[in-house]
Amino acid sequence: MRLLTVGIGLRGAKIAELFYKHGVRVNRSPLFKCFAILSDELQIRSVSIDDDRKYYVGDRRGIPGFINALTRHYEIWEGNLVITSLEDDFAFDVSVEFCERLKAFSEDPIIYLTLIPSLGAVDVSEIKKKMRKIQKVSDIILVFEGKADSDAKIFDAMNMLALAGEVDIKKRVAGEVVVDTSDIFNALKSDGFSVVGFAEQKVSFDFFKKASELKAVRTRRILEMLDQAMNNLSINTELEKAKSALLLFCGPKEEVTMEGIFEAISRVEKLNKDIIIRYGDCPIPPALLTKKIAVVVLFSGLKSFKF
């Protein structure tokens, strides 16, 4: 999944910087095509993205110039990722203007990823007002609570999602159940907002266990990680009211068992009998000395936070 990634305001730009410096690449090409919009020269200096990808915009009237500059970058993307914090009024106003203008000339889906102030210390009516505006100008809303560790959560989860459906020519590996970009967009596109959960574990090399034992260990591990991901959501919400879900299992091919995948689906189905579930695995070969597996869960069609 190749995304035009625009961080607006300092918090959004710093997250875009993470993707610019450390985001996943396939066939040597970055999956996140990163840019930053800022309103202060000191902020521009503090963001480590190439100069031709950082833009000063004083207010929403500067957005046409930014969009014109984007057209000079010859890159391919399948969707748009806009990253902001609702605590930053500049970022909110400019992002809404950007999304409105982006919709006018691009049919690619717009993912609006926003951080909201910590629950319990927020004007609920103001957040609802802003969320209604965001809904009008975007196709998908991803919500994270604006805690200090949220930047890392966003980076980890989006990196894994971006790999879904991508084929590395050199590694020549494919999942048992392939999830592509359209599956992710379809899972996220629903009335309301979406939340993300992520879990990751290092896995030891088991050379002496029998095949049946290994399958049992791997299946149990997948289910444990599903529970961890569902208990590590981007924001507190009522999962039983979700309309759709996406489950993505990432790691060395042999570590992801079909038994684990189907049991995980069964557990999510118990939340809501009408929920639409998409699922798949994304094989990631192990490094020389370590191997990791990760689980990403997405729930969409949500309407309210838990305060």
CATH of the domain at 284: 3.30.1330.20
Q: Which residue has the higher pLDDT, 173 or 73?
A: 73
Per-residue pLDDT, averaged over 181-201, amounts to 83
- 156 and 230 in a single domain? The answer is no
Asked whether residue 187 carries a pLDDT value surpassing 80, the answer given is no
Please give the residue range of the domain that contains residue 294: 189-302
Domain count, the chain: 2
Say yes or no: 213 and 100 in one domain: no
Amino acid 211: pLDDT: 73
Mean pLDDT of 6-28: 93
106 has pLDDT over 90: no
Is the per-residue pLDDT at 171 higher than 60? no
Q: How many angstroms separate the Cα of 72 from the Cα of each of 9, 65, 101, 117, 230?
A: 22, 12, 17, 35, 41
Q: Is it the case that residue 176 has pLDDT exceeding 80?
A: no
The domain boundary residue, chosen from 122, 147, 163: 163
Please report the pLDDT score of residue 155 as a whole number: 94
Q: Which of 116, 146, 163 is the last residue of a domain?
A: 163
Q: Are 147 and 282 in contact (CB under 8 A)?
A: no
On whether residue 171 sits in a domain, the answer given is no
Residues 296 and 188 sit within 8 Å (Cβ to Cβ)? no
In a domain, residue 176? The reply is no
Whether residue 178 lies inside any domain: the answer is no
Mean pLDDT for 149-156 is 92
Q: How many residues does the chain have?
A: 307
Residue (of 236, 261, 239, 247) closest to 298 by Cα position: 247
Tell me whether strands 32-38 and 3-8 are parallel, antiparallel or unpaired: parallel
> Is residue 170 in some structural domain?
no
Decide if pLDDT at 298 tops 70: yes
Angstrom distances, CA of residue 130 to CA of 93, 119, 126, 289: 10, 15, 6, 47
| Residue 182 covered by a domain | no
Residue 70 has pLDDT above 70, yes or no: yes
Whole-number pLDDT of residue 212: 74
Q: Is residue 180 part of a domain?
A: no
Mean pLDDT of 44-50: 94
Q: What is the pTM of this model?
A: 0.89
